[in-house]
């Protein structure tokens, strides 16, 4: 997997998780984000785009450099905790791939 592919997968996964969270918690229509979640997404998108560790590390969830500001970090953690397991129902192969890459990375590190 190239760095570019990794970045795209991370972005896609993150967007879907925020989407699930927003749809269930804030009752926004599927495929849309409320204003608050849109802000979190834009922030995460920017961080992923700017991440200097994409090349050597796998995903932001396992990265030791916490580049998210504390208030966003808390929010994103909550969203991941909520949406992560639900992603399994929507897109199991993508989640398993993501988890496998995380596991591989943890083992190596």
Give the separation between CA 4 and CA 20, rounded to whole angstroms: 24
Q: Tell me if 26 contacts Zn ion by CB under 5 A.
A: yes
- Residue 37 found at the interface with Zn ion (CB under 5 A): yes
* Three-class secondary structure of residue 14 per DSSP: helix
Residue pair 17/78 in contact (Cβ under 8 Å)? The answer is no
Only segment of 21-29, 49-57, 78-86, 98-106 that touches Zn ion (CB under 5 A): 21-29
d(CA 35, CA 109): 37
How many residues lie near Zn ion (CB under 5 A)?
A: 4
Nearest approach, Cβ of residue 46 and Zn ion (Å): 18
| Binding-site ranges for Zn ion (CB under 5 A) | 22, 26, 34, 37
């Amino acid at each position: 997997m190239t760095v570019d592919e990794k970045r795209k997968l991370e972005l896609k996964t993150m967007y879907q998780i925020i989407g699930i969270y927003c749809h269930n918690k804030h009752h926004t229509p599927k495929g849309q984000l409320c204003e608050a979640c849109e802000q979190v997404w834009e922030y995460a998108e920017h961080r992923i785009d700017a991440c200097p560790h994409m090349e050597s590390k796998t995903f932001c969830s396992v990265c030791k450099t916490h580049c998210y500001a504390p208030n966003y970090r808390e929010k994103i953690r909550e969203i991941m905790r909520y949406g992560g397991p639900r992603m399994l129902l929507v897109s199991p192969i993508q989640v398993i791939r993501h988890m496998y890459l995380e596991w591989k990375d943890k083992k190596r590190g």
